[in-house]
Amino acid sequence: MTVPDEGMLLLVDKPKHWTSFDVVNKLRYAFKIKKIGHAGTLDPLAQGLLLIGVGKFTKKLELLQGLNKEYEGVIEIGKTTPSFDLETAFDSSSDYLHITSAQVLEAAQQLTGKLDQMPPIYSAIRVNGERAYKSARKNEPLELKSRRIHIFEFEIIKISLPEIYFRVTCSKGTYIRSLAKDFGEILGVGGYLKQLNRTKIGDYSLQHAQQLETLIDQIKLAHEGN
C-alpha cells in the first residue's frame, strides 16, 4: 500500500487500550511519512471507527471532525468513577434494584436534543495551557466550561440492570462519558460508561474499517514489494 499524490483516507478500527495518537504513530512509522493525522479522538478505553488522513489528505481532516457521530455502548448504573469510565476506580455505589424500564427510557428522553454538557475533568481539554486530565491526576482545582451539544437520538437497545445498552447519534464535541454520568444522575443512582464503540462518523461506517494490524501488514508488504 503506497500513498498517492493526493493523499488518502483510512478507516481504522481502533483497538481498546490504544490512544488515537498511538494509532497515528504506528501508521506514521509503517508508512515512513510525516503528514498523517486523525479526525476525532477516541478515548483509550473506547474502540471503533477512527478516520486517518495520510499525506495531502490531512488538509481535509478538519472538515471531517465536524461530522456527526454514532456510538454504541454500555452504561452501568449504581456506581460512579471520577473519570466517568473505567480509567479510574469506583468512588461511590448505590442500590439500583428499584429502577424501572420506564425510568430508564425517560432518562434517555431527557438527554435527547440540544444540551449544555460539562466535559469530564479527565479529558484532553486545555485549561490554562495544560491538559485537564493532567491537572485532575494531580488533584489540582479545575474550572471547565459547559459546551452546547446536540443528541439527535438516544436509543435504549437493552436493559439488563445494572447494565443499559444504548445507541447514540450526536454532534461534534459530545462526551459520551459525560452523557453516562448525567444519565446516572437523572436516575438518582449514579452511572458510568462501561463500554463504548464508535460505529459511524458522518457517512463513514465501522463496517468498512480495517483492523490496525491487518493494515500494518498490507503497508509492510507494499514496501517489501518496492
The one catalytic residue in 13, 43, 85, 182 is 43
Instruction: Give the Cα separation of 58 and 42 in Å (integer).
Output: 18
Give burial (CB, 10 Å; 0-12/13-18/19+) of 226.
Answer: exposed
Residue 17: all three cell numbers together:
487500550
Instruction: Give the Cα separation of 188 and 215 in Å (integer).
Output: 45
Task: Say whether 43 is catalytic.
Answer: yes
CA–CA distance from 86 to each of 44, 121, 151, 177 (Å)? 10, 14, 23, 10
Question: Which of the residues are catalytic?
Answer: 43
